[in-house]
Amino acid sequence: MLVPADGTQHIDLLVLPETNLILVASVIEPLRAANRIAGKVLYDWAIFSPDGQAIETKSGIPIPVAGPFRPQNETAPLFILSSYNWRAYATTQLKMLLSRTARHREVMAGIEAGTWFLAETSLLDNFSATNHWEDFEDFAAAYPQITMVRERFVIDGKRITTGGSLPTLDLMLELIRRQHSYSLALEVSRLFIYEQERTRGDLLQVPVIGNMRILDARVGAAVKLMEETVDAPLTLTRLARRAGVSARHLQDLFQETMGVAPHAHYLALRLNAARRKVIETRADFADIAAATGFNSSSAFSRSYRAHYRESPSETRRRVKLKS
């Protein structure tokens, strides 16, 4: 799930008792949102517990599960979610199951305290990882063979780790971006109107979100202008002038702050607006093209197909058949 993909990506979730409800939602809700925005099942998932009983989250709200975690030769990514009192659930049997299933899994992820389970089964040896800030020093001391990094999340080959609930949301946006597109990750993040404090480690990892706090005011001004001019896009020179910088400097600032070039973010905003109109209205494609800043229907269709792997008419037909 770390490279572009067609079809449906299945994910197994092993959720331990006393996990925060928001941690589970941070994994599942971005995937659900991606399915909704795409109008098709890009992701599905199954939730397991150690004993097959519903998970009692820390908030007291139970989470139904598909059954006990008893893996065979499954290759789907496995996300291990845990928040509190992880040692009580790190049984010999569970560690044996994790070690066995790691031989086949495409990816294994330790979500918050789930990182401890990977470490306890030697599945993070010689990898880079992160953990919740409260546990960071203790974890680093306990497992010197693991390279600890103070980042919100870490992707190192087939191992993924996160440092909490909101960093997990960051991670899911990045996985959506890698498998599908910046456009889809941007629209998922905007659906949540999600704001994040950017630290050095995630500047190049996470797609920007509408209404977020951007550290550089000039980039923030340019993003706001883009959102206000979807129907009549400004040139880079005009954007930069109104943001108070040169075009070259704005390009550099965008790449450093957002991880993409200005034109890529601008195009993603316009295409996402167009896709909503394709799905939610009966407007002619020529009118949609004009409303989202394309100078012709053919230019709109080419750009739309390049981003979404189908034409506007195919999107509308497919969504209509499902309704």
Structure tokens, 62: 């139970």
With CA atoms as reference, report the closest residue to 18 among 88, 69, 67. 88
Counting DSSP H helices and E strands in the chain, the numbers are 13, 11
- Digit-coded pLDDT (tens) for 80-106: 999 999 999 999 999 999 999 999 998
- Contact indicator for 161, 124 with CB cutoff of 8 Å: yes
Q: Which of 17, 133, 21 is nearest to 86 (CA)?
A: 17
C-beta separation of 153 from 168 below 8 A: yes
3-state class of 66 per DSSP?
coil
Distances (CA, A) of 190 to 185, 211, 312: 9, 8, 22
| The pLDDT value given to residue 204 | 34
Q: What is the pLDDT of the chain when averaged over all its residues? A: 89
The pLDDT, as a whole number, for residue 322 is 65
Q: How confident is the model at residue 202 (pLDDT cuts 50, 70, 90)?
A: very low
Q: 129: which 2 tokens?
A: 């990882």
Position of tokens 């597109």?
Answer: 181
Give the Cα separation of 79 and 11 in Å (integer). Answer: 7
How far apart are alpha carbons 120 and 118 in whole angstroms?
A: 6
Backbone φ and ψ for 53, nearest 5 degrees, come out as -85, 155
**257, pLDDT greater than 90:** no
Q: Given the DSSP bridges, would you call strands 78-82 and 108-112 parallel, antiparallel or unpaired?
A: parallel
Q: What are 278-310's pLDDT values in tens digits?
A: 988 999 999 999 999 999 999 999 999 998 889
Residue 10, strand partner residues: 44
| pLDDT tens readout for residues 118-145 | 999 999 999 999 999 889 999 999 999 9
Tokens representing residue 178 in the block: 């890698």
Domains plus CATH for the chain? 9-176 (3.40.50.880), 214-323 (1.10.10.60)
User: For the ranges 132-136, 190-194, 205-209, 218-222, which has the lowest average pLDDT?
Assistant: 205-209
Distance CA 84, CA 71 (A): 24
Q: 280 versus 10: which is more confidently predicted? A: 10
